Amino acid sequence: MSAPAAVLPHLVIAVSPAPDRSAKDDTPAPRPDRPGRVAGRRGDRLPEPVPADPSQEAARRRTFAIISHPDAGKTTLTEKFLLYGGALTSEAGSVKAKGARRSATSDWMELEQKRGISITSTVLQFPYRDHVINLLDTPGHRDFSEDTYRVLAAADAAVMVLDAAKGIEPQTLKLFEVCRERDMPLLTFINKWDRPGRDPLELLDEIEAQIGVHPAPVTWPVGIAGDFRGVIDRRTGDFIRFTRTAGGATEAGEELLAPDEAAEREGEAWTAATGELELLEATGADVDEESFLAGISTPVYFGSALTNFGVRLMLDGVVDLAPAPAPRVDVKDEPRPLDAPFSGFVFKVQANMDRAHRDRLAFFRVCSGRFERGMVVTIDRTGRPFATKYAQQVFGQDRETVEEAWPGDVVGLVNATDVRIGDTLWVDQPVTFAGIPSFAPELFWVARAKDTSRFKQFRSGISQLDEEGVVQVLRDPEIGDQAPVLAAVGQMQFEVAAHRLENEFGAPVELSPTSYTVARRTDAESEPALKSMRGVDVLRRADGTRLALFESSYWLARVEGDHPELVLERLVAEGGS
């Protein structure tokens, strides 16, 4: 972002271009009522201050994640949400591909910008319709589904973005399955309807068959994919006709037409669309709040993030349908009331977001009460106090100090070195929320520093990537960090680890594959017997967890059959489980 960010009540949003410093008048320019304001929007103002009540503040928040497979347009849709929220004034979506190119707001990592995909999760906050929107952008590749799983632990709902031409792709189905595992309320945005694509009814059938949720269209396209005229709002029967804007840099023009007028102007396209709607009516594909909140059905919206068609309706759907933050259940299965003293849950750790300072941020979601910067919280895992002097809210790569936050908000703690993913933070009244389990790794590679003189940097980088969950680091206590085994769900995790070790920590690495293909959790009593077997090794995570590695699932099955007394526990999200 070219300009600094301004701190407004409970928000951090981007500021419109800085005033001309060449002007003779030295009087400071007045702060705009709404930085980045887009004129002509319904509800186009910042949320009005309300009494400091956690329940009331929580009711105004919508905290959701956005997931998709690569190239479905997730990053573009994310930036268009910011545009409609007034947090971007230009260079949203397609604008970044022209003239003075800049990186997507949510894709801040250098490797993301080079490869054009989302590798890390990102936190963005902006105002919309008197609400505070907390958008958690997730990686767009199945190799990073574990990071998506962690982000979903901090979200109340998710928006699934699908390419109208590709639908649900097999190699990325795991991302959506992760969402289903958490019973997450799911909204669907079928994107790129301005380009040639598949039949809309066929896409609905695929959603139900592949993911197992019932699609319930809220809007329906008029015009086949590639000839997008607008959408019918099924709730009212009205036709919303879209008008293109230059480069998609401003909100799409919308014209509201009654059915009779729409039929006259759109002809065969309208007739085809209404015929399809009759089929939907016959099957009872209507939005049902109860089944949506239970993760059984998914409201569906059609649009084009590139041209901004349907973006407002999708964002309205988030506000109208996604649940507000609710009391979080602790390990005793007891809900923590929103009005209870402060508590928070750490779901992400990220280093080197600010390359100038090489710092480390621990992101937590506020679960109850009011967070105030400087308050001393207790880290439940260790029982140690921690002063939250350096608390920030993040807008892509830009940051601002946050003075207070409420349930549903996400805050980053700078250089909170004692805080780990899955930690619970609390004040006054102790509470423990369930942690975030690690996924079952499928690939195991040995890492060695190419330059032994850079071993200190290598060891530091390996530990940091382990804390962030970029890869799982497994060690043999007798060898230590000389040749740790990096365990991952997908190949690209190794590419990211190697890139960051070299470019962020100055420690080029050599990675070599091992013969191991499957892991099980074990214990100290079983370790000696397992280590004595051919084709088996036992390594440890930083938290002391022991993982038994096997060269094949066949050999694992044989060991389990011959030695039922050994502890060999399956891990989360394991293939075939």
- Please give the pLDDT value at position 48: 52
Q: Answer yes or no: do 174 and 307 share one domain.
A: yes
Please indicate, yes or no, if residue 135 is contained in any of the structural domains.
no
CA dihedral 402, 406, 412, 415 (to 10 degrees): 80
Asked which of 426, 452, 483 is the last residue of a domain, the reply is 426
- Please give the pLDDT value at position 279: 92
Q: Could you list the residues known to form a binding site, using ranges.
A: 68-75, 137-141
Q: Cα(240)–Cα(212) distance, rounded to whole angstroms?
A: 30
Classify burial at 487, counting beta carbons within 10 Å of its beta carbon; exposed 0-12, middle 13-18, buried 19 or more.
buried
Please indicate, yes or no, if residue 219 is contained in any of the structural domains.
yes
Q: List Cβ neighbours of 114 (8 Å cut-off, separation of 6 or more).
A: none
The CATH number that applies at residue 87 is 3.40.50.300
Q: Cα(347)–Cα(52) distance, rounded to whole angstroms?
A: 26
Helix ranges (H only) for 224-373 are 259-266, 268-283, 289-293, 311-321
Q: Could you list the residues known to form a binding site for GTP, using ranges.
A: 68-75, 137-141
Please indicate, yes or no, if residue 477 is contained in any of the structural domains.
yes
Sheet containing strand 536-540, edge to edge, reads 518-522, 546-550, 536-540
- DSSP state, residue 572: B
Extract the tokens encoding 186: 């799911």
Q: Answer yes or no: do 184 and 302 share one domain.
A: yes
Q: Answer yes or no: do 177 and 309 share one domain.
A: yes
Q: C-alpha 449: how far from its chain's center? A: 32
Q: Answer yes or no: do 241 and 205 share one domain.
A: yes
State whether residue 360 is helix, strand or coil: strand
Residues of the chain under the 50 pLDDT cut: 1-46, 50, 90-109, 111-113, 115-120, 575-577
User: Per-residue pLDDT tens for 465-504?
Assistant: 888 888 899 999 988 889 999 999 888 889 889 999 998 8
Q: Answer yes or no: do 316 and 394 share one domain.
A: no
The CATH number that applies at residue 522 is 3.30.70.3280
- DSSP state, residue 334: -
Q: Answer yes or no: do 209 and 313 share one domain.
A: yes
| Segments forming the whole domain that contains residue 421 | 328-426
State whether residue 3 is helix, strand or coil: coil
The model's pTM = 0.79
Q: Cα(232)–Cα(221) distance, rounded to whole angstroms?
A: 6
User: What's phi and psi for 431, nearest 5 deg?
Assistant: -155, 150
- Please give the pLDDT value at position 89: 55
Q: Which residues pair with 221 in a beta bridge?
A: 231
- C-alpha closest to that of 222 among 186, 257, 246, 187: 257
Asked which of 299, 321, 343 is the last residue of a domain, the reply is 321
Please indicate, yes or no, if residue 128 is contained in any of the structural domains.
no
Q: Answer yes or no: do 399 and 312 share one domain.
A: no
- Number of other CB atoms surrounding residue 96 within 10 Å: 20
Cα separation values, 122 from 82, 167, 201, 557, Å: 13, 24, 33, 40
- Please give the pLDDT value at position 161: 93
Q: Answer yes or no: do 392 and 357 share one domain.
A: yes
Q: Which residues pair with 68 in a beta bridge?
A: 161
Sheet containing strand 61-68, edge to edge, reads 122-128, 131-137, 61-68, 157-163, 186-191, 297-302, 214-217
What's the structural domain count of the chain? Answer: 3
Q: Which helix (H) or strand (E) holds 463?
A: helix 455-468
**SS3 string of 96-164?**
HHCCCCCCCCCCCCHHHHHHCCCCCCEEEEEEECCEEEEEEECCCCHHHHHHHHHHHCCCCEEEEEEEC
Q: In the Cβ-directed half-sphere of 133, how many Cα atoms lie within 13 Å?
A: 30
CA dihedral 272, 273, 275, 277 (to 10 degrees): 170
Q: Answer yes or no: do 254 and 339 share one domain.
A: no
Q: Cα(88)–Cα(249) distance, rounded to whole angstroms?
A: 9
Please indicate, yes or no, if residue 364 is contained in any of the structural domains.
yes
Please indicate, yes or no, if residue 104 is contained in any of the structural domains.
yes
Asked which of 297, 321, 345 is the last residue of a domain, the reply is 321
- Please give the pLDDT value at position 324: 97
- C-alpha closest to that of 202 among 224, 187, 229, 233: 224
Characterise 387 by phi-psi region: left (phi > 0), alpha (psi -120 to 50), beta (else). beta
Q: Cα(549)–Cα(556) distance, rounded to whole angstroms?
A: 9
Q: Which residues pair with 136 in a beta bridge?
A: 65, 123
- Please give the pLDDT value at position 306: 92
Please indicate, yes or no, if residue 151 is contained in any of the structural domains.
no
- Please give the pLDDT value at position 396: 60
Cα separation values, 207 from 73, 203, 224, Å: 18, 6, 19
- Please give the pLDDT value at position 318: 97
Largest CA distance in the chain: 86
- Please give the pLDDT value at position 239: 95
- Are 375 and 427 contacting, i.e. CB atoms less than 8 angstroms apart? yes
Q: List Cβ neighbours of 148 (8 Å cut-off, separation of 6 or more).
A: 65, 67, 121, 138, 139, 175, 178, 179
Q: Cα(130)–Cα(247) distance, rounded to whole angstroms?
A: 28
Q: Answer yes or no: do 206 and 172 share one domain.
A: yes
Q: Answer yes or no: do 177 and 235 share one domain.
A: yes
Q: Answer yes or no: do 299 and 374 share one domain.
A: no
- Please give the pLDDT value at position 575: 44
- C-alpha closest to that of 543 among 564, 521, 528: 521
- Are 312 and 84 contacting, i.e. CB atoms less than 8 angstroms apart? yes
Please indicate, yes or no, if residue 422 is contained in any of the structural domains.
yes
Q: Cα(523)–Cα(544) distance, rounded to whole angstroms?
A: 10
